[in-house]
Amino acid sequence: MCGIVGYTGKRNVIDVLMTGLVSLEYRGYDSAGIAINNDGEIKVYKAIGKLGNLKTLLEEKKSEITNVKSGIGHIRWATHGGATEFNAHPHTCTCGKLVVVHNGIIENFKELKEVLTKEGCVFRSQTDTETIAHLFAREYGKTHNLKEAVKNGLKELKGAYAICVMHKDEPDTIVATRKNAPLLIGLGEGENFIASDIPAFIEYTKKAIYLDDGDIAVVKADGLEFYNEKDEKITKKIEQLPWEPVALSKMGYKHFMLKEIHEQPDVIRNVLNGKLFDIDEPIVLNEVQIDNETLKKLNRIEIIACGTSLHAAMVGKYIIEDFTGIAVDVEPSSEYIYRKTVTNEKTLVIGVSQSGETADTITAIRQAKEKGAHVLIITNRPDSSMARYADSLIPVSAGIEISVAATKSYTAQLLSFYLLAIKMAEIKNSMPKEYLKTLKHELIQVPVKLEEILNNKEEIKKCARKFANYKNFIFIARGINLATALEGALKLKEISYINATGYAAGELKHGPIAMLDETMPVLSILIPGGITYDKILSNSEEAKARNARLIALTSSEDEHLYDIFENVIKIPPIPEILSPITANVPCQLLAYYISEFLGKDVDQPRNLAKSVTVE
Ligand code: M6R
């Protein structure tokens, strides 16, 4: 969603802000802007659409930009008010001396706007953010100190926010604060950076300080001060960021999505590293605080997540129930938070999130914690807000994922669930040791199987070319791969805008079969050796009888499949219980190539954001 960058120091401020914004582009946005303190005067430049438009504007205005020491920038994903220049950030107060950028939502902005309008403030946009500028400006008028103005203004704000503020009379100062939205400071020599996410300054520094809720940072080129919610001056821990700038490059791939799909074999090796040493040894999950006593006490497990993470959760449910016999419920976070759940101290609540910043899941986790549940977080961002609520943590170690469509992070989440389920079974002694050993052995083989899929993409490309112009698409599966069908459909929908849906194959005849004719491709996920193969084959035959265009995704060697299916996409043999890891990869590639053939914006699909920080 929205992204913030701020800089004060000796470099070309506009260059630093623009590079920072470019590296946050992957979050999804529809307008952008920057504000600079130019020789003691605040100047604001905004443009709708991609950053290229803002760049062009800055080129045109070059002659009026003379001496800049500090600036703030923002990319906006519209919530309050459309994607217009007026609504784009930064926003100024009525006289234009104070300027803010903001991520999050101010819940009481309407009430505040009414009061501030009566006080004489002139509003120019439909945003909630503009209220902050007027409010802080009013407070600045009382103290003539930006930090004090922010401290006093915050007392009236309700909602979630990461905010950066500048005032014309404090040319080298940016004040930053946050509540329920991420914000961090990057430390340099004679310069400092502010951003809502690491990529915005990783090419300049790897030293950073994370702000906590309620913190206020006073950021100058040659100094930093931090205050907590009680206005006490505090010292914050400096973290060494684990990322290399190279992680943000496409490394020769046409899109980040394609690069990230190809990284999956190594991602799996990474996830297994340090957790699965040997098939004879128990799984090691250092930050999971669950012992036999905790497991005995549990009466149920609830897994909450959104989107792709929700599909990983469905696989998690299947294997945890299978391996431990503990009842598991899976629910979208956005539903969980609006009902009276039966959650208590005997419940283990697992939150799954790539970004660790998804607002619905954070709220759900908070509610579960308040009810006394043990909270386990599975996330790709151990530095995220969600990780801070964790009693137990599994960092999924997928590396930064830039493409909005989640690919490698899903695979890493799946792996994390397999490791967790095996570990629980080991603690509970609920599965035969030999079976668990076989599973561990198979898990170690998975990266090579993925490499095999990635080296044989011709049939997938052929399918993509053939079906790219179809308007609808159905994925069917049963059992553990129902999640794969749903995820395959979600991926296709997200990046190609084709109306793709996933169904439990047995459900086809209860309604969706009415849609089948020669204009409907149906992709069946068929894993032999398991309990679902024959039934899915029958369901596919039923679809063929209605003239649907059939595609098989299978590890079967049965030549008869070619009599039923127009296209057969092969994956290497694998036990059905582990097949969601391999079966998903061809679905990712199919979605990718279809989107590519259609000329869509693969990495930044319309209307979508990488981390969804509003409920
Ligand atoms: O960061 P999270 O895993 O919590 O995000 C949840 C969803 O927003 C996310 O999975 C979304 O569905 C992606 N666009 C999937 O490709």
The residue out of 397, 422, 445 marking a domain boundary is 445
The pLDDT value given to residue 128? 92
pLDDT per residue over 418-447, tens digit each?
Answer: 999 999 999 999 999 999 999 999 999 999
pLDDT at position 6 is: 98
Which atom of ligand 1 has the smallest separation from the CA of 406? 16
- What pLDDT is recorded for position 77? 86
Q: pLDDT tens for residues 202-233? A: 999 999 999 999 999 999 999 999 999 999 99
How far, in Å, is the centroid of ligand 1 from the Cα of 383?
17
Distance from Cα 462 to the centre of ligand 1, integer Å: 28
> What's the rounded mean pLDDT across residues 180-207?
94
Residue 534 is assigned to a structural domain of this protein: yes
Q: pLDDT at position 528, please?
A: 95
Q: Are 410 and 543 in contact (CB under 8 A)?
A: no
Residue 438, domain member (yes or no): yes
Question: Does any domain span residue 213?
Answer: yes
User: Could you tell me if 397 and 313 lie in one domain?
Assistant: yes
Residue 60 CA to ligand 1 center (angstroms) comes to 38
Residues 397 and 511 both lie in one domain: no
> DSSP letters along 497-517, please?
--EEEEEEGGGGGGTGGGG-S
Report if residue 150 sits inside a domain: yes
For residue 50, the one-letter residue type is K
The H or E element that residue 218 is part of is strand 216-220
pLDDT tens-digit series, residues 56-99: 999 999 899 888 989 999 999 888 888 898 999 999 999 999 99
Residues 294 and 415 in one domain: yes
CA of 494 to the centre of ligand 1 (A): 11
Ligand 1: nearest atom to the Cα of 361 = 4
**Which helix (H) or strand (E) element contains residue 195?**
strand 192-195
Q: Whose CA is nearest to atom 16 of ligand 1?
A: 405
Is there a single domain that holds both residue 544 and residue 411?
no
Torsion-angle region of 307 (φ positive above 0: left; ψ -120 to 50: alpha; else: beta): left
Which mutation among 27, 77, 255, 309 tests ligand 1's pocket best, with the greatest number of atoms within 8 A of CB? 309
Gap between the Cα atoms of 478 and 527, Å rounded? 10
Cα–Cα distance for residue pair 10/316, rounded to 1 Å = 50
Instruction: Taking residues 37-49, report their average pLDDT.
Output: 94
The answer to whether position 450 is within a domain reads no
Whether residue 167 is predicted with pLDDT greater than 90 in this model: the reply is yes
**Nearest-CA neighbor of 74 among 57, 91, 92, 60?**
91
pLDDT of residue 196 exceeding 80: yes
Last residue of a domain, one of 392, 421, 445: 445
> What is the structure's pLDDT at 246?
62
Q: What is the mean pLDDT of residues 244-269?
A: 89
Q: What is the mean pLDDT of the chain?
A: 94
Residues of the chain with pLDDT > 90, as a percent, come to 85
Q: Closest ligand 1 atom to the C-alpha of 306?
A: 6
Confidence of residue 105 (pLDDT cuts 50, 70, 90): confident
Residue by residue, what is the 3-state secondary structure of 543-579?
Answer: HHHCCCEEEEEECCCCCCHHHHCCEEEECCCCCHHHH
Report if residue 544 sits inside a domain: yes
The set of protein residues with a Cβ atom below 6 angstroms from ligand 1 is 306-309, 353-355, 358, 361, 404-406, 494, 608, 611-612
Q: Which has the minimum average pLDDT: 18-27, 187-196, 261-270, 591-600?
A: 18-27
23 and 137 co-located in one domain: yes
DSSP-derived 3-state class of residue 286: coil
Angle at the Cα of 322 from the Cα atoms of 317 and 328, rounded to 5 degrees: 35
Q: Which of 77, 303, 310, 354 to mutate to test the pocket of ligand 1 (most atoms within 8 A of CB)?
A: 354
105-114, 212-221, 290-299: range with lowest mean pLDDT: 290-299
CA 295 / ligand 1 centre spacing (Å): 29
Known catalytic membership, residue 2: yes
Supply the residue whose CA is at minimum distance from atom 12 of ligand 1: 307
Domains identified in the chain, total number: 3
Taking only the tens place, the pLDDT of each residue in 494-532 is: 999 999 999 999 999 999 999 999 999 999 999 998 889
Q: Dump pLDDT digits (tens) for 361-403.
A: 999 999 999 999 999 999 999 988 899 899 999 999 898 899 9
Q: Which of 46, 440, 449, 610 is catalytic?
A: 610
Q: Does 217 share its domain with 313?
A: no
Q: Which of 336, 337, 358 to mutate for ligand 1's pocket (most ligand atoms within 8 Å of CB)? A: 358
Amino acid (one-letter) located at 549: R
Residues 119 and 157 grouped into a single domain: yes
Give pLDDT, residue 400.
Answer: 87
Closest to 513 (Cα-Cα) out of 526, 499, 501, 528:
501
Q: How far is the CA of 381 from the centre of ligand 1 (A)?
A: 13
Q: Band of the pLDDT at 542, cuts 50, 70, 90?
A: very high
Residues 241 and 270 placed together within one structural domain of the fold: no
Residue 297's pLDDT band (boundaries 50, 70, 90)?
confident
Range of the domain at 150: 3-248
Say what the pLDDT of residue 290 is.
87
Q: Can you list the positions of beta strands (E) in 16-131?
A: 31-38, 41-48, 68-76, 91-92, 98-106
- Torsion 251-253-255-261 (CA) sign: negative
Does pLDDT of 245 surpass 70?
A: no
pLDDT band per the 50, 70, 90 thresholds, residue 610 = confident
What does the pLDDT read at residue 336? 95
Is 41 found in the same domain as 170?
yes
Out of 417, 445, 473, pick the residue that ends a domain: 445
* 179 inside domain: yes
**244 and 278 part of one domain:** no
Based on the fold, state whether residues 147 and 265 are members of the same structural domain.
no
Distance from residue 509's CA to the centre of ligand 1 (Å): 30
For a mutational test of ligand 1's pocket, the pick from 311, 355, 493, 614, i.e. the residue with the most ligand atoms closer than 8 A to its C-beta, is 355
Residue among 2, 306, 463, 587 flagged as catalytic = 2
Q: Which residue minimizes the CA distance to atom 11 of ligand 1?
A: 307
Q: How far is the CA of 306 from the centre of ligand 1 (A)?
A: 6
Residues 374, 467 share a domain: no
Does 584 fall in a domain? yes
Note the pLDDT of residue 299. 86
346 counts as catalytic: no
22 pLDDT more than 80? yes
pLDDT band at 54 (very low <50, low <70, confident <90, very high): very high
Q: Give the domain CATH number at 554.
A: 3.40.50.10490
pLDDT on residue 593: 98
CB-based contacts of 280-283 (< 8 A; 24+ apart in sequence): 280/437, 282/423, 282/426, 283/419, 283/422, 283/423, 283/426, 283/440
The Cα 394–Cα 350 span in angstroms is 10
Cα gap 173→148, rounded to integer Å:
13
Residue 247: per-residue pLDDT = 67
